[in-house]
Amino acid sequence: MSLTTPLTRNVRDDRRPTDMAAYEANGGYLGLRAALAQSPEDCLQVLKDSNLRGRGGAGFPTGMKWSFVPMGDKCSPGHKYLICNADEMEPGTFKDRLLLECDPHQLIEGMIVSAYTLQADVAYIFIRAEYHQATRLLQEAIAACHEKGYLGQDILGTGYQLEMHVHSSAGRYICGEETALISSLEGKRANPRAKPPFPQVSGLWGRPTIVNNVETLCNVHHIIERGAEWFKSLGLTEDAGTKLYGVSGRVKNPGCWELPMGTPVRQIIEEYAGGMEDGYNLKGFLPGGGSTDFLTEEHLDLAMDYDTIGKAGSRMGTGTMIILDDKTCPVGFVKNLVAFFARESCGFCTPCRDGLPWSAQVLDDIQNDRGQEEDMDTLARQVKFIGAIGNTHCALAPGAMEPLQSAMKYFPEAFENHLSGNCPHCNGGTH
């Protein structure tokens, strides 16, 4: 068993899913046995010591997040919930699908260990509606776990009980926001909720709830089995562990790879993604999916970790890069993203409901040579108002403004070319 790529150790070249027999033969469910041999408090301390940060985008320390859940006498009688956010709808992001389709038991084991640590008795996998194959594989894996005694009323004779369910998403990007996800799971409109109260105290049906991403939860049982120091040794910087990095766009080998946290951007693009396709040059890249700020060639030697990318003016987000090449119009690139976020808004707050469609329309006018000089002032005001955290009910709209504000910063000539009717890409080129 590989100790340096724990998340993809069972991913085969042909991408065939790992069944129960193969998973156990490669050390599967040893992490669960290691967890059940400890107290939940001990497991939580190992998670805290490991410096595991959430892999869904924000990078919040997992152990700290879990420590806010009331335990023992501090928790009133009733259910406690663990939810896996498998609603992978961030543009350019496909890393969780790899884990779900190739190694479903890894997620289930990670969730059982996580639920035991939190003393949760019900777990949900909230999965993207389009992930049909992953949904079927997870349901089959859950049934196999019941037969083995890994799920149910008396897990491995310890008295701990856990039920796990797969819930297909209603199919909206906003469901990736944890409180909107909770609302959707309750059968309500997927609107984000005001905080506090936070889900750790009052989440699903008013009970303590933890929501974490697929990749995050897949790390948990490995950490419990091998220890915090092992996990920290995998990273190249202060951020611990490995990371599923992805690259899409005009590169020779688009894909997803498990690499040490802090692997340089240049190495990911040039070595693993094979560099740019012949005839194309790198103009910029979104480091962590469609809702992150552009970085450029000057940032290629930065370490891909949360703090380094943050200091450069962007976010590592999901760690899946979208490449902007020199033959694609940045205005059209950004317009497509803003239009997507406008369509996916829950419509609760005015800046998001009205501001994003307005921004998309202004960008469409500019791209199609109907723009005016004052449109740039309009976009600047939109970025300032909509992009400010606290002016909107959740982070969807500020995230939508990140590629726009950075495109205006790094590629002003693209907007100027359109305003003068001289875009070399859109006039007979690539939008």
Confidence of residue 156 (pLDDT cuts 50, 70, 90): very high
pLDDT band at 403 (very low <50, low <70, confident <90, very high): very high
Q: Are 260 and 252 in contact (CB under 8 A)?
A: no
pLDDT of 238 strictly over 70: yes
pLDDT at 1: 42
Q: 132 to each of 14, 139, 213, 350, how far by Cα in Å? A: 19, 11, 18, 34
Integer-rounded Cα Rg, in Å, for the chain is 22
Mean pLDDT of 379-401: 93
| Residue, of 424 and 9, whose pLDDT is higher | 9
Q: CA–CA distance from 86 to each of 41, 109, 205, 287, 337 (Å)?
A: 27, 15, 20, 20, 21
Confidence check: pLDDT of 427 > 80: no
Report the pLDDT averaged over residues 382-389: 92
The residue-averaged pLDDT of 318-338 equals 96
Is the backbone of residue 337 left (phi > 0), alpha (psi -120 to 50) or beta?
alpha
Judge whether 105 and 303 are in contact, CB under 8 Å: no
pLDDT > 90: percent of the chain: 90
What's the mean per-residue pLDDT of the chain? Answer: 94
**Which residues make Cβ contacts (< 8 Å) with residue 79, sequence separation at least 6?**
120, 121, 122, 205, 207
CB 280 within 8 A of CB 324: no
Contact 287, 305 (CB under 8 A): no
pLDDT in tens, 175-214: 989 999 999 999 999 999 998 999 999 999 999 999 999 9
E strands, 3-93, are: 81-86
The answer to whether the pTM exceeds 0.75 is yes
| Rounded-to-integer distance, Cα 250 and Cα 17, Å | 29
How far is residue 229 from each of residues 35, 113, 221, 236, measured CA to CA in Å?
17, 19, 14, 13
Phi, psi angle pair for 12, to nearest 5°:
-90, 160
Confidence of residue 431 (pLDDT cuts 50, 70, 90): very low
pLDDT tens digits, 240-283: 999 999 999 999 999 999 999 999 999 999 999 999 999 999 99
Show the domains of the chain with their CATH numbers: 6-233 (3.40.50.11540), 242-325 (3.10.20.600), 330-419 (1.20.1440.230)
Distance from C-alpha of 173 to C-alpha of 27, rounded to nearest angstrom: 35
In which band, very low, low, confident or very high, does the pLDDT at 389 lie, cut at 50, 70 and 90?
A: confident
Q: Are strands 163-168 and 255-260 parallel, antiparallel or unpaired?
A: unpaired
Between 412-419 and 356-367, two packed helices, what is the crossing angle to 10 degrees?
Answer: 60
- Alpha carbons within 13 angstroms on the beta-carbon side of residue 404 total 30
Of 37, 84, 2, 1, nearest to 260 by C-alpha is 2
Q: Picking from 65-69, 338-342, 367-371, which range would have the lowest pLDDT averaged per residue?
A: 367-371
Angle at 176 between CA 309 and CA 94, to 5 degrees: 65
What pLDDT score does 430 carry? 44
308 alpha-carbon distance from chain centroid: 18
pLDDT tens-place string over residues 209-219: 999 999 999 99
Q: What is the mean pLDDT of residues 61-69?
A: 96
Instruction: Please say whether the dihedral angle defined by the alpha carbons of residues 392, 395, 396 and 397, taken in this order, is positive or negative.
Output: positive
Q: What band does 388 get if pLDDT is binned at 50, 70 and 90? A: confident
Angle ∠(290,319,87) on CA atoms, nearest 5: 65
Report the helix count and the strand count for the chain, using DSSP H and E.
18, 8
